[in-house]
Amino acid sequence: MPFHFYNTQTRQYEEFKPLQEGLVRIYSCGPTVYDYAHIGNFRSYVFTDLLRRCLKLAGYQVEQALNLTDVDDKTIRGALARQADAGLKELRAHTDIFTNAFFEDLQALNIETFEHYPRATEHIPAMLEIIDRLTEKGYAYEQDGSIYFSIAKDKSYGKLSHIDLSNVKSGTRYRTDEYDKEDIRDFVLWKAEPPQSKMAWDTSYGHGRPGWHIECSAMIRKIFNGPIDIHTGGVDLIFPHHENEIAQSECAYEEKFVAIWMHCEHLLVDGRKMSKSEGNFFTLRDLLKQGHHPAAIRYFLLASHYRQKLNFTFEGLEQALHSLKRIITAWLRVKSCAIGGSDIQLPLRRWREDFLTQLQDDLNMPRALAVVFDAVKEINSALDRQQDKLTDSDKKEVLSLFDYFDRVLGILRYSGDFAAIAEVPPHLSDLLAARNAARAAKNWVEADRLRDKITAAGYKIVDTKEGTRLEKI
Ligand SMILES: [Zn+2]
């Protein structure tokens, strides 16, 4: 079965056929490196990682770029706050701090390494080339030293976001990088900067710096030199950012820019939009500092469908941890089981096929995970039946099934952190819970009786600041 994806531009599910057989070329809008990225940002990066892993699982080669916006209003403001006469070198030093932090965060979440991480400041010539073309073709004009894109000249403007163009203010302009989404105006391609500004380039368009939208168009052209298969981003980028990318690229090169646009929905926190003033704003680092496990955060962001709004709560994070522990525990159990018993006769091949089929259906992760948990349940019962024994070939095949799932889930590499729990048989965990309940009720006789049962089974109770756990004696 081929992949089917929902294309934001056509508003339809489409069968996916790469432009070049066997190879998928993807561009994903990355962060503006002016601060630490928040968990809403990481939802979008976990989604592009999911897309990439699914395509690879189906046998495609993937070439993917994720850009770093390292010059814009916010990065410049940050560099100036650090040093009043900051220039391009200081801007780079400032953005490097957050770029490095971003890469550490991607690793913490086990997001794969992509082929390209282009930086905007290293692609100024590619941006100028597009502006040259737009100027020659009459799509761009100068005003007060800056160059603007005239949306009135582009007859197909609005085709991605399907915006209502009837209230377009012709000839009025936005000079800022981000602007009011209701108010459609010409956008800036090249911004003139005052002569004293050191965070600018001297070009044929004067002393200035690029607008935000031109960066992505230029980096896509430079890296892929032609149309790409998939462009991803969060839904908040559809307008104006992606609309403007299409306008610039298609007017400059007169060819289709992107075959399929895929957008990931918002992450809400406790049902509300994340915002610093509401006190519900979390960077990944905030959550890790609070002791939350990166695997739980990865799993939480991955487990829902990317086109549905996701509501972040701490209970949700707990549930994610619980679910991923079930998978890891079963995997460790298979890994450590003895050789013996008889054939388990489980539909290992069908689970593998079903898992991929669900993902090929617009990356339906909830249904793919249902397949995984069906497998986990059946494998655990087989191990119960055979007292933790599998034949040599069953053991190999079951482990290979887990590896197959994990090429998308990416959670087994965290298993070291969960190995201690995994060794404890479930009935002993129940005994521990009962013993703790007895202690809480000050029923010391019952608590001691349960402790002795646990000890007799070869485990001791360890007190930690998170609570109690069992360890093999
Ligand atoms: Zn972009």
Q: Please report the pLDDT score of residue 224 as a whole number.
A: 98
Q: Which of 4-8, 157-161, 181-185, 323-327 has the lowest mean pLDDT?
A: 181-185
Instruction: Report the separation in Å between the CA atom of 29 and the middle of ligand 1, taken as the mean of its atom positions.
Output: 4
Is 288 among the domain residues? no
Residue among 309, 308, 8 at smallest CA distance from 163: 8
Give me the residues paired with residue 12 across strands: 7
Instruction: Report the separation in Å between the CA atom of 164 and the middle of ligand 1, taken as the mean of its atom positions.
Output: 22
Residues in the chain: 473
Q: Which of 249-253, 331-335, 404-408 has the lowest mean pLDDT?
A: 331-335
Is 287 among the domain residues? no
Model pLDDT for residues 395-409, shown as the tens digit of each residue? 999 999 999 999 999
Task: Indicate if 258 and 338 belong to the same structural domain.
Answer: no
Instruction: Report the separation in Å between the CA atom of 32 and the middle of ligand 1, taken as the mean of its atom positions.
Output: 10
Instruction: Report the separation in Å between the CA atom of 244 and the middle of ligand 1, taken as the mean of its atom positions.
Output: 10
Mean pLDDT for the chain? 93
Identify the domain boundary among 422, 438, 463. Answer: 422
Q: What do you get for the CA distance between the two ends of the chain, in Å?
A: 51
Q: Please report the pLDDT score of residue 432 as a whole number.
A: 87
Averaged pLDDT for residues 183-200: 91
Q: Which of 130-134, 223-227, 275-279 has the lowest mean pLDDT?
A: 275-279
User: Is the per-residue pLDDT at 313 higher than 80?
Assistant: yes
Instruction: Report the separation in Å between the CA atom of 20 and the middle of ligand 1, taken as the mean of its atom positions.
Output: 23
Q: Please report the pLDDT score of residue 103 as a whole number.
A: 98
Task: Indicate if 210 and 152 belong to the same structural domain.
Answer: yes
Side chain identity at 3, as an amino acid letter?
F
Q: Please report the pLDDT score of residue 174 as a whole number.
A: 77
Is 290 among the domain residues? no
* Alpha-carbon span 11 to 161, nearest angstrom: 10
Task: Indicate if 345 and 267 belong to the same structural domain.
Answer: no
The single residue listed with the structure tokens 């249902």 is 370
Model pLDDT for residues 75-89, shown as the tens digit of each residue? 999 999 999 999 999
Averaged pLDDT for residues 220-245: 96
CB contact at 8 A, 3 and 16? yes
Most confident of 271-275, 332-336, 363-367: 363-367
Helix segments in 61-166, DSSP class H: 73-82, 88-108, 124-136
Q: Please report the pLDDT score of residue 181 as a whole number.
A: 62
User: Is the per-residue pLDDT at 192 higher than 90?
Assistant: yes
Is 461 among the domain residues? yes
Model pLDDT for residues 121-171, shown as the tens digit of each residue? 999 999 999 999 999 999 999 999 999 999 989 999 999 999 878 777 767
- The structure tokens listed for 61 are 């080669």
Instruction: Report the separation in Å between the CA atom of 51 and the middle of ligand 1, taken as the mean of its atom positions.
Output: 17
Instruction: Report the separation in Å between the CA atom of 267 and the middle of ligand 1, taken as the mean of its atom positions.
Output: 19
Task: Indicate if 330 and 465 belong to the same structural domain.
Answer: no
Q: Say which residues have a Cβ less than 8 Å from residue 433's Cβ, sequence separation at least 6.
A: none
Q: How many domains does the chain have?
A: 3
Task: Indicate if 334 and 446 belong to the same structural domain.
Answer: no
With H, G, I as helix, E, B as strand and everything else as coil, classify residue 182.
coil
Task: Indicate if 72 and 104 belong to the same structural domain.
Answer: yes
Residue-wise DSSP of 299-356? HHHHHS-TTS-EEE-HHHHHHHHHHHHHHHHHHHHHHHPEE-S------HHHHHHHHH
Is 6 among the domain residues? no
User: Is the per-residue pLDDT at 458 higher than 90?
Assistant: no
Neighbour tally for 324: CB within 10 Å: 24
* Alpha-carbon span 77 to 34, nearest angstrom: 9
> What does the DSSP 8-state code read for residue 174?
E
Task: Indicate if 69 and 187 belong to the same structural domain.
Answer: yes
Instruction: Report the separation in Å between the CA atom of 315 and the middle of ligand 1, taken as the mean of its atom positions.
Output: 33
Q: Which of 204-208, 360-364, 454-458 has the lowest mean pLDDT?
A: 454-458
Instruction: Report the separation in Å between the CA atom of 30 and the middle of ligand 1, taken as the mean of its atom positions.
Output: 7
Instruction: Report the separation in Å between the CA atom of 443 and the middle of ligand 1, taken as the mean of its atom positions.
Output: 62
Task: Indicate if 437 and 397 belong to the same structural domain.
Answer: no
Instruction: Report the separation in Å between the CA atom of 37 and the middle of ligand 1, taken as the mean of its atom positions.
Output: 16
Q: What angle do CA 17, 20, 24 make, to 5 degrees?
A: 70
3-state secondary structure 12-64: EEEECCCCECCEEEEEECCCECCCCCEHHHHHHHHHHHHHHHHHHHCCCEEEE
User: Is the per-residue pLDDT at 453 higher than 70?
Assistant: yes
Averaged pLDDT for residues 411-421: 87
Q: Say which residues have a Cβ less than 8 Å from residue 384's Cβ, sequence separation at least 6.
A: none
Instruction: Report the separation in Å between the CA atom of 216 and the middle of ligand 1, taken as the mean of its atom positions.
Output: 5
The CB-based long-range contact list for 169-173 (8 Å cut-off, 24+ gap) reads: 173/143, 173/148
CB contact at 8 A, 146 and 188? yes
Model pLDDT for residues 41-70, shown as the tens digit of each residue? 999 999 999 999 999 999 999 999 999 999
Instruction: Report the separation in Å between the CA atom of 456 and the middle of ligand 1, taken as the mean of its atom positions.
Output: 61
Instruction: Report the separation in Å between the CA atom of 126 and the middle of ligand 1, taken as the mean of its atom positions.
Output: 15
Helix segments in 365-468, DSSP class H: 365-385, 392-409, 419-422, 426-440, 444-456
Is 289 among the domain residues? no
Percentage of the chain surpassing pLDDT 90? 80
Instruction: Report the separation in Å between the CA atom of 223 and the middle of ligand 1, taken as the mean of its atom positions.
Output: 14
Q: Please report the pLDDT score of residue 459 as a whole number.
A: 82
Task: Indicate if 170 and 248 belong to the same structural domain.
Answer: yes
User: Is the per-residue pLDDT at 465 higher than 60?
Assistant: no
State the residue range of the domain holding 183.
20-273
- The structure tokens listed for 312 are 């972040």
CB contact at 8 A, 327 and 333? no
What is the band of 423 on the pLDDT scale with cuts at 50, 70, 90? low
User: Is the per-residue pLDDT at 424 higher than 90?
Assistant: no
Model pLDDT for residues 20-40, shown as the tens digit of each residue? 999 999 999 999 999 999 999
* Alpha-carbon span 248 to 267, nearest angstrom: 29
Could you tell me where the beta strands, DSSP code E, fall in 130-283?
Answer: 140-143, 146-149, 173-174, 186-192, 201-203, 206-210, 228-234, 258-264, 267-269, 272-273
Is 313 among the domain residues? no
Task: Indicate if 262 and 359 belong to the same structural domain.
Answer: no
Residue-wise DSSP of 437-456? HHHHTT-HHHHHHHHHHHHH
Q: Please report the pLDDT score of residue 370 as a whole number.
A: 98
Q: Please report the pLDDT score of residue 98 as a whole number.
A: 98
CATH number at residue 111: 3.40.50.620
- The structure tokens listed for 10 are 């056509």
User: Is the per-residue pLDDT at 182 higher than 70?
Assistant: no
Task: Indicate if 358 and 437 belong to the same structural domain.
Answer: no
Instruction: Report the separation in Å between the CA atom of 299 and the middle of ligand 1, taken as the mean of its atom positions.
Output: 26
* Alpha-carbon span 168 to 5, nearest angstrom: 31
Instruction: Report the separation in Å between the CA atom of 224 and the middle of ligand 1, taken as the mean of its atom positions.
Output: 15
* Alpha-carbon span 19 to 4, nearest angstrom: 15
Instruction: Report the separation in Å between the CA atom of 172 and the middle of ligand 1, taken as the mean of its atom positions.
Output: 23
Is 433 among the domain residues? yes
Task: Indicate if 258 and 350 belong to the same structural domain.
Answer: no
CA 43 to chain CA centroid, Å, is 5
User: Is the per-residue pLDDT at 422 higher than 70?
Assistant: no
Identify the domain boundary among 422, 447, 462. Answer: 422
Instruction: Report the separation in Å between the CA atom of 162 and the middle of ligand 1, taken as the mean of its atom positions.
Output: 19
Q: Please report the pLDDT score of residue 277 as a whole number.
A: 75
Q: Please report the pLDDT score of residue 242 as a whole number.
A: 97
CATH number at residue 345: 1.20.120
